[in-house]
Structures are given as structure tokens and as C-alpha cells.
Chains A and B, each alone.
Chain A
Amino acid sequence: MDASYLDLLMAQQEEVAEAEGGGGGIWVVADLVDGGVAPVTLEAIGAARNLADSLGAYVYGVLLGDGVADLALALYQAGADGVRVADHPALASFAAETYLAVLADLFAAEQPEAVLFGATDMGQQLAARLAQRMGGGLIEHTVALSLDEATRALQASFPVYGGEYFEIAACPQARPQFLTVEPGAFAAPFIDPYRQGSPTMLDVTPLEPAVRRVGEADGFAPPPVPLNRARLIVAAGRQAGDFALVERLAAALGGQVAGDRGARDAGWIESGQVVDLRSATVAPDVYLAVGIRGDTFHNAAIEQARFILAIHPDPQAPIFEVADLGLEADPQQVLPLLLQALE
């Protein structure tokens, strides 16, 4: 069948019968980026949709901002049954007290069963304060969700020690159940371009906040992160070839530069940057070994790294035995390509 004909057939727009509030439902408070709805919000709506279908509940989206009413469509298309919009100049950028006042009023009236936020700067702040205000439980940085049907409780997994393992928890008694969901942890939902609805506008009463943003912190530089606490390390060894490429890769990834004893002997790094059981052990999320052969002392010092990527021309190099991914290649040749691929 002709695709455009199919489009014609389906082009009867599906108006979502705006779900009435007044009890229950899974609510998702939207994060905005670059004037649009953040991916994490759509992911949260997708997760909420799955749970809501098992619970027989509605999914609602909440938008706060200035001139954001048009974004409601994105929430409907991701699966929301209803959308509430607080549109006011006072909400133009995130201000905890102002946003809290709007949401506290809304949720006091609607009595949600569960409220989801993105585990973002904004979501983390709002979820904790609303949970305490409404007597609800909160599980942050959720990466997986399941339903305990006996209590209608949402069971959530969250990472411990940065993802070494996961705890599963639930707040079965208290309502609402608050959750923040980790960006990227849940699949993006199916976007139904034919869904639409008419959002309900909320009243906004501006208040005089006790905390005000003064401006940019010009010239503020955070303290250097010691190697043993660095989250991403790009380390060079004798076979790195071009150390400038290693530095560029570290900058591109927002990581710290380090190396093995060979790199220090080559004069590329200081003694304080040497990764070796006798100097410093590290436990980053990602360790990139560029041209490091990987002797026993070096490899033992990186044992706690969560993900190790090794690049070395010698297929027999011991670093490959501990690496999660190994590239048998000359760093000088592969690094420019890797930098390109990361752009």
C-alpha cells in the first residue's frame, strides 16, 4: 500500500479525552532543554505508561515554564492522558520555591498515586521537598521499575557505589510515591503523531523567593580532582606515540590525564599522575589505556575501574586481558579517528 495513502487513512487526529483529575494517576513533571521537552521526561512518560496500563490508571504530564503551552503536544504524543500547564514569566527558569508552590497546590488537589521526575538538577530538588511535604517516599536515580500488584507499589532499582550493584526498594504504604528516573535508563516511548489533547492551565501566584540567582560565577574554578577520585581517566603509556592526542581525547571526554611509569619516564606526566599499585590506585567509571602494555602493578591499580578500554599495537600486551574492550592498533593512527567518531 502506498505510504501516503496510509497516512491519509490514519490522519484522523485522535483527540485524547482529557482525563479528569481528582485522585490517583501517575504524574510526570517535565524537564525542558533548549526550549523543548527533555528526553528523560519522554522516557519517564513511557515508563509511567507501562505501569499505568497494569494499574488501570491515567498518566498526566505537568509543564512549568514561560510560553510552554505548545509543548503539551509532545507529552500527549508520548502517552500522557492529561496535561497540566503552569505558564508564567515567574517560571521562565527553574526557581525551587516558585516551582514548589505550584506543584504542591496541584498535587494537594489531585492526590497522585505516583509522581515521576527526571533525575536532573531540577527533578532531584523538587522530588525531595515535595515528598517530605506530602509525606511520600522517594527513590532517586531509578533505573528499572516493576509493579508490586498486592500493594500497588512501584518497585525501583537504583545504583549503589555508582553502579557496582543495585538496590531494589519500594514505598508501599505512603502516597504519593515519588521517583526520579535516571536519564537514558528507560527506552524512549513510541511517539504517536496523531495523539493530541487540550491541556488544563494552572493558576500561578508569583512569590518573593528567599534564594535568588545573582549571575554567572565568573572566574570560579572547581578544585582539581585527585586521581583516585577521578571518574574518567585517559592514561598514556610508552606506545601512545603522540601525547598531544591523548590530551585532546581527555579534553573531549572531560577526563583526567594520567599514565604509567613509562609515560612519566618519557616526561609526559608528573609523578603524581602515575597509575601503579606503588603510586596510586584508581576507581573511575572509565579508564582508557592508550599505548599502555599493562604490567602487573599497573593492572592491579586499575582493577576497580568500571570500564576499561585499551589501545595497544601488540596483541600479546597483558592490558588486553583486563580490558573490557581492546583495540589492537597503533594509537597514533586510531586516536584521530576516535576523536572524529566522538564528535
Chain B
Amino acid sequence: MRVIVVLGHVLDPRGIAVNRRAGRVFINRREYILQPADRCALEAALRIKDEMPAEVVVLPRSPLPDDDVLRQALATGADRAVYLAGDGLAAADDAAMARLLAAAVERLGGADLILTGATTLDTGQGQLGLRLAEALGWPHVADAWALKTSDDRLEVVRQEGAGYAVLEAALPVMVTVAPGALEPRYPDGARLINIYRGQGEVAAALETWDAADLVDADALQPLLERRGQEFPPERERGVRASGGLEEMARSAADALRRQVRV
């Protein structure tokens, strides 16, 4: 069984400050973490590998400044990782990445299962995995909370309304994993050291492919154009609810409804 995990990085929100008055995002510490939902997807793959013979291959979800997240994934238990590099790749959006990743999957010789995060922590977009399924012509299951595999089938638990449902899929299939679905394990310290020192099997498991060998330059053209940022009005703290107990309770309920749409 071959499981491919598509994962990416995100600026650690604890290292950034959003200044609404200045209308700017200040990056105080440029530290990246694995996208939390991608971390869950990796965990789901590693749990399959705990249960049955499986090879876990890691690919990047977006153009990466370096291969840190791939090394982390290898240290956490993945068998093989492919860093994608090349001219014109830096601007790739999800549409372009889906085409590139589909070509990379073909070149790997296909897979039984592809897993990725259902959404990103920063932009909240969930299209990459589904676009990749489409580019490959595979079926998908979105927002998985739990997976159970046999040789040629997969059972997936996903949220439906207030409850959870079981879906069954024939392999191959693409599954996006909900953030928080699984408690992810941490990288193994010794493996991490070996990877960064370039020693042993794990270090050899990281290779680099040139995007130009996979798709032509047109396929990497992004469709999405960033046009700026907008900042919500500054928070006005210290506002007190007025009136008697009943009126206060009503204002509080209204405010909560606006915030959580209960």
C-alpha cells in the first residue's frame, strides 16, 4: 500500500501581530509550523503504516522556501519525501499545484491513497486536495475524522451536520483530513538529527525534483491574483452592557450569536 501525504507550512500565528490601526501584519518571528490539518493527514498515514505494510511518501502542498517541513515529516515516520523546485514555481496557486502534484503522483507510479489537510490555518482554503483529486480523476472524501483501510477499500468517518457518518470508498481515493481529527505524534529526535546531518537512510529519503520535468511552464501559471488586505475595525475594549439584568443578558446573547452564529 502506498500512501501519499501532501503537506505544507504556515507562519506560526504566535509569531505574528496583526495591527489593525496600522493596517499591517507584523512578522515578529518568521517561524513556520506544519499546517495543523496536514499534520493530522500525516498522522492518519502513519497510523495506517502502524497497522499494515505501507510506504508513506510526502509531497509539498505549495511552493516551499526550504525543505524543513519535509524533513520534519521524514523524522516523524514518513519513508520518502520529494521537494519540488524550479523556475516559475514560486507563484503557483492551488490550481497550478494540483496539476504539478498530479504529474508528481504519476511519476511516483501512482498511489492507493492520497491524504492532505482539509483546510489551511492561514487562508482557510480547502481546495488543494479536491483539485488534486480532480486532476487525477480520482474520487474524494472531504473532512475525514478517522480512517480504516483494508487492502482495496477504505472506511472514512466524517462529520455530517451534528453527527458523524461512515463512508466507504474503493481505492484509490483522495481524502482530506479535518484539523484536530487526530492527535499527531512528534518527530523522533534521533531521526531529525540524522536528517539534518545528512546521515543514514532517512537523509537519503529526501530528493528534489525539477518542476520543469513534470509539467510545462503554462501549467504553473496561477489563476489567483492577490489584490491587497483589509483589516477589521480596531477592537473597542471596555464596553459595558447597559440596563437591568434582563437587558444585559439579551445584549450578551446577541453579541454571542453574532460571534458564533448559534
Q: Is the pair B131, A210 in contact by a Cβ cutoff of 8 Å?
A: no
The smallest beta-carbon distance between A214 and chain B, in angstroms, is 4
Q: Give the total of B residues in contact with A, Cβ under 8 Å.
A: 77
A329 to B252, CA, bound (A): 12
Is residue B217 contacting chain A, with contact meaning CB distance below 8 A?
A: no
Is residue B155 contacting chain A, with contact meaning CB distance below 8 A?
A: yes
Query: Which of A8-16, A62-70, A186-194, A320-328 forms part of the interface with chain B?
Result: A320-328
Q: Is the pair B166, A329 in contact by a Cβ cutoff of 8 Å?
A: no
A333 to B248, CA, bound (A): 11
Which residues of chain B come closer than 8 Å to A324, judged between CB atoms?
235-237, 239, 255
Which residues of chain B come closer than 8 Å to A171, judged between CB atoms?
223-225
Which residues of chain A come closer than 8 Å to B133, judged between CB atoms?
129
Query: Which of A17-25, A107-115, A131-139, A270-278 forms part of the interface with chain B?
Result: A131-139
A31 to B43, CA, bound (A): 33
| Other-chain residue from B13, B140, B231 in contact with A96 (beta carbon distance below 8 A) | B140
Q: Is the pair B236, A161 in contact by a Cβ cutoff of 8 Å?
A: no
Q: Is the pair A329, B227 in contact by a Cβ cutoff of 8 Å?
A: no
Within 8 A of A (CB), among B5-47: 13, 16, 18, 20, 25, 36
Q: Is the pair A160, B256 in contact by a Cβ cutoff of 8 Å?
A: no
Query: Which of A42-50, A51-59, A76-84, A334-342 forms part of the interface with chain B?
Result: A334-342
Q: Is the pair B139, A96 in contact by a Cβ cutoff of 8 Å?
A: yes
Given A161-B18, A169-B224, A225-B180, are A129 and B130 also a contact pair (CB < 8 Å)? yes
A169 to B251, CA, bound (A): 35
A283 to B36, CA, bound (A): 15
| Other-chain residue from B94, B142, B226, B240 in contact with A167 (beta carbon distance below 8 A) | B226
| Other-chain residue from A136, A216, A342 in contact with B223 (beta carbon distance below 8 A) | A136
Which residues of chain A come closer than 8 Å to B134, judged between CB atoms?
128-129, 132-133
Q: How many A-B residue pairs have CB under 8 A?
A: 237
Within 8 A of A (CB), among B217-256: 223-232, 235-241, 245-246, 248-253, 255-256
Given A128-B126, A168-B230, are A341 and B241 also a contact pair (CB < 8 Å)? no
Q: Tell which of A140, A155, A172, A229 has the most Cβ of chain B within 10 Å.
A: A140
Which residues of chain B come closer than 8 Å to A288, judged between CB atoms?
256
A9 to B98, CA, bound (A): 57
Which residues of chain A come closer than 8 Å to B125, judged between CB atoms?
140-141, 158
Closest residue of chain A to B166, judged by CB? A214
Q: Give the total of A residues in contact with B, Cβ under 8 Å.
A: 85
Q: Is the pair A97, B237 in contact by a Cβ cutoff of 8 Å?
A: no
Q: Is the pair A169, B130 in contact by a Cβ cutoff of 8 Å?
A: no
Is residue B145 contacting chain A, with contact meaning CB distance below 8 A?
A: yes
Q: Is the pair B225, A172 in contact by a Cβ cutoff of 8 Å?
A: yes
Q: Is the pair B227, A342 in contact by a Cβ cutoff of 8 Å?
A: no
Closest residue of chain B to A337, judged by CB? B249
Query: Which of A119-127, A196-204, A239-247, A260-268 forms part of the interface with chain B?
Result: A119-127
Given A125-B142, A128-B131, A128-B134, are A342 and B253 also a contact pair (CB < 8 Å)? yes
Q: Tell which of B135, B240, B261 has the most Cβ of chain A within 10 Å.
A: B240
| Other-chain residue from A131, A225, A338 in contact with B127 (beta carbon distance below 8 A) | A131
Given A132-B131, A217-B157, are A124 and B223 also a contact pair (CB < 8 Å)? no
Q: List 24 A-B contacts (CB under 8 A).
A: A124-B126, A125-B140, A129-B130, A132-B130, A132-B134, A138-B95, A161-B122, A164-B18, A165-B229, A165-B230, A170-B227, A173-B223, A217-B164, A220-B146, A223-B181, A252-B262, A254-B260, A311-B252, A321-B237, A325-B255, A326-B238, A327-B252, A334-B248, A340-B249
Given contacts A140-B126, A229-B180, 18 further A-B contacts (CB under 8 A): A124-B130, A128-B126, A132-B135, A137-B224, A138-B127, A163-B232, A165-B18, A168-B228, A170-B224, A171-B225, A212-B169, A214-B167, A220-B145, A220-B146, A321-B237, A324-B236, A326-B239, A327-B248
Residue ranges of B at the interface with A (Cβ–Cβ < 8 Å): 13, 16, 18, 20, 25, 36, 93-95, 98, 121-127, 130-131, 133-135, 139-143, 145-146, 155, 157, 160, 163-170, 173, 180-183, 223-232, 235-241, 245-246, 248-253, 255-257, 259-262
